[in-house]
Amino acid sequence: MSNILNMNCIIIDDDKPSRRIIEEYIAKTHGLTLINSYASAIEAINAFKGGDEIHLIFLDIEMPEMSGLDFLRTIKDPPQIVIISAKESYALDAFEFDVTDYLLKPISYTRFFKAVTKVTERLKAIKYSASGERKEDEIFIKKRSSLFRIKYDDILWIEALENYIKINTFHTSYTIHFTLKRIFDKLPSSMFKRVHRSYIVNIHKINYIEDNNIIMHTEEEKKSIPIGKSYKDKLLEEINLMTK
C-alpha cells in the first residue's frame, strides 16, 4: 500500500450504508485522508470553499436535488473522480467527464484499492508531465466508449468551449469534456504554449503571426487565433524570432 500517494478525499453519496463502507475502506488505506462525507451533492459544493485541497472524490450519481453528473458540471477543474453507483447505465455519461474509474455497488475492498491505484498512477503521470520530463509523443482522447490516439505533432491548436475543449489537427478535430488547464498540464511545455485564456497552440505549427493573431492552416480553413496581451511577450521569447 506504500505506492498510494497522500490524498485528501471526500465522499458524496445519499446512501448511508454505502458511505460507511467507503469510509472504512479509506480508513484502512495508507495515504488516504477522509476530509468529509456528504449525503448530498449540494452539501458537498461547500467542500471546495474550505482550506483543504481535495485530491479525490468518491461520487454517487443518483441523488435527490442534484445528481452526481450535475455536480460535476458545477465545479471548475475537478479533482480525480471515482464513481460509486448501483447502476452501470451511467458509465458512458460519466466517462465524458474524464472520471478515473467507475465502481458498481456493492464494492469490494479489492476493487476499491484498484481504483485508488489508478488515481495514484494518473496523478503521478500528470505531475511527471508538468515537470517537463514527459517522453511520450502522443495522447489518448476518450470519447464515449472509444479511445483516439493523437500524436502531439499532429495537434495544431486547442480551444476552450465553455465546459469542453476542441483539439484541432490538420485533418479533423475532437471535442471532449475537459478543461484547458488540465490538457495543458498533460502536454510538453517545449511544444505547446498558452497564447490566450481560451487557446493553446503548437508553436511548431504556426504558419505566421499577423498583428496580434496567429495564423494556422488546416485542410479546410485558415484559422486566426488571437494572442492575449498578457501572453504575447512570452510567446515572442519562445519562438525563434529574427528581426532587423
pTM higher than the cut 0.75:
no
pLDDT at 219: 85
Domains in the chain, ordered, with CATH? 7-130 (3.40.50.2300), 138-238 (2.40.50.1020)
Runs of H (alpha helix) within the chain:
16-27, 41-45, 68-74, 91-95, 109-130, 180-186, 229-238
Q: In whole angstroms, what is the distance from residue 37 CA to residue 57 CA?
A: 10
pLDDT at 134: 44
Confidence of residue 25 (pLDDT cuts 50, 70, 90): very high
- Identify which has the larger pLDDT, 115 or 142: 115
Backbone phi, psi, residue 166, to 5°: -120, 115
44-52's contacts with Cβ under 8 Å and 24+ in sequence apart are 44/10, 44/12, 44/71, 45/71, 45/74, 45/75, 47/10, 48/75, 52/8
**Direct distance between the N- and C-terminal alpha carbons of the chain, in angstroms, rounded to an integer:** 60
Written as nine digits, the cell of 30 is 495508507
Q: Mind listing the pLDDT tens digit for each residue in 155-197?
A: 999 999 988 999 999 888 888 888 899 899 888 888 899 999 9
- Identify which has the larger pLDDT, 190 or 24: 24
**Burial degree of 166 (CB within 10 A; 0-12, 13-18, 19+):** middle
| Cβ atoms of 52 and 22 closer than 8 Å | no
pLDDT at 145: 63
**Burial degree of 82 (CB within 10 A; 0-12, 13-18, 19+):** buried
pLDDT at 243: 46
Q: Mind listing the pLDDT tens digit for each residue in 74-128?
A: 888 889 999 999 998 888 888 778 888 899 999 999 999 999 988 988 887 666 5
The widest CA-to-CA distance across the chain, in whole angstroms, is: 72
Sheet strand arrangement including 80-85: 32-38, 7-12, 56-59, 80-85, 101-104
pLDDT at 188: 85
Average pLDDT over residues 118-139: 68
**Burial degree of 147 (CB within 10 A; 0-12, 13-18, 19+):** exposed
